[in-house]
A = this chain, B = another copy of it.
Amino acid sequence: MSTVAVPSPPPTASEDAESLRKALQGWRADKAALVGILCRRTAAQRAAIRRAYAFLYREPLLNCFRYKLSRHYCLLSVDFWKALILWTMDPAERDANLVHEAVKKKDENYILVLIEVSCASTPDHLLAVRKIYLKLFSCSIEEDVASSPALREPLKKMLVSLVSSYRYAGEQVDMDVAKLEAAQLSEAIREKQLHGNEVVRIISTRSKSQLRATFQQYKEDQGRDIAEDINSRCSSQFGRMLKSAVWCLTSPEKHFAQVIRYSILGVGTYEDLLTRVIVSRAELDMKRIKEEYMARYKSAVTLDVAGDTSFGYRDMLLALVGSED
């Protein structure tokens, strides 16, 4: 499902590090070369390149990028360097940084980061993010979320439960539980009591396979999709975030297609959203996100991204999104 086009055979990590060093020289870096190398390598290859670069040149590659970023005041260059830094980072470290930035903000677009990292990741990735967060910031994610003055109950309760979860990742499903919990969810939605203990418990502790079965059962019982029902009956912020969690858990492509659309229709800081989605999903499910985007908005992600961005930043995003089939 990855849209990252790795050349075959790829250069060695040392060769890549040398090419990157050349591309970084001079006042203007060779952005095309940076994109041509880094955006065509997997996370494991990028890690090897970071190690080779640090070994050869006695400084971290990311520090060179951060130095370039600090010297650019043109918005498009800033977006380019920010995106390149996020893409070059270890994915768990990247998400830990995104979460740390998000915890302090009231903006819904940032609260979504917490839901994306906790629900659209594998349980083991979330654990890796929590580990590195502890190391980087000397406190836990749940500690920061629970004590954040920017977040209010009952949303805070749900977010704390989501980021603390370590779900079963297997396929085993209990259909009795699915039936019971589909009924509990339907009652909560009907009575607009989403923030009760049961809804948060189900969403934050059950495995993705189990939730898929529960939501399927809900559809059979109610004749409607649970995400649609939450959307139409509970329009509060909590309802919107719950719908995002439901999507991230069982069909993340729907959530991310919507975030891309929203970031493209908007102006200004929405580049942060666009970068976040493309960088974090390129290696996971970008193909499915593109299909979903096409089906829903009758337009191609590549076309819309190309129309809304420019120069190096655009080239980088397009390299990660891949060509349309």
With A161-B164, A165-B140, A165-B164 as contacts: A147 and B205 at CB distance below 8 Å: yes
Q: Which of B130, B147, B205 contacts A146 (CB 8 A)?
A: B205
With A161-B164, A164-B164, A166-B130 as contacts: A138 and B172 at CB distance below 8 Å: yes
Question: Is A142 an interface position by the 8 A CB rule?
Answer: yes
B170–A138 contact, CB under 8 A?
yes
Which 8 interchain pairs have the tightest Cβ spacing? A164-B164, A143-B205, A146-B201, A138-B172, A139-B168, A146-B205, A130-B166, A142-B205
C-alpha gap A5/B244 in the complex (Å): 55
With A157-B197, A197-B153, A197-B157 as contacts: A206 and B168 at CB distance below 8 Å: no
Query: 5 new A-B pairs (CB below 8 Å) besides A160-B161, A160-B205?
Result: A131-B166, A140-B207, A142-B165, A142-B205, A164-B165
User: How many residues of chain A are within 8 Å of chain B by beta carbon?
Assistant: 30
Query: Which residue on B lies nearest to A134, using beta carbons?
Result: B168
C-alpha gap A250/B313 in the complex (Å): 51
14 interchain pairs (CB within 8 A)?
Answer: A123-B134, A127-B127, A130-B166, A131-B166, A139-B168, A140-B165, A142-B164, A143-B167, A143-B205, A146-B201, A157-B197, A161-B164, A164-B164, A164-B166
- Chain A residues close to B by CB (< 8 Å): 123, 127, 130-131, 134, 138-140, 142-143, 146-147, 153, 157, 160-161, 164-170, 172, 197, 201, 204-207
With A153-B197, A157-B197, A172-B138 as contacts: A206 and B165 at CB distance below 8 Å: no
Residues of B within 8 A of A142 (CB): 164-166, 204-205
C-alpha gap A111/B153 in the complex (Å): 28
Give min CB distance, A124 to chain B, whole Å: 9
C-alpha gap A201/B160 in the complex (Å): 10
Residues of B within 8 A of A160 (CB): 161, 201, 205
Residues of B within 8 A of A172 (CB): 138
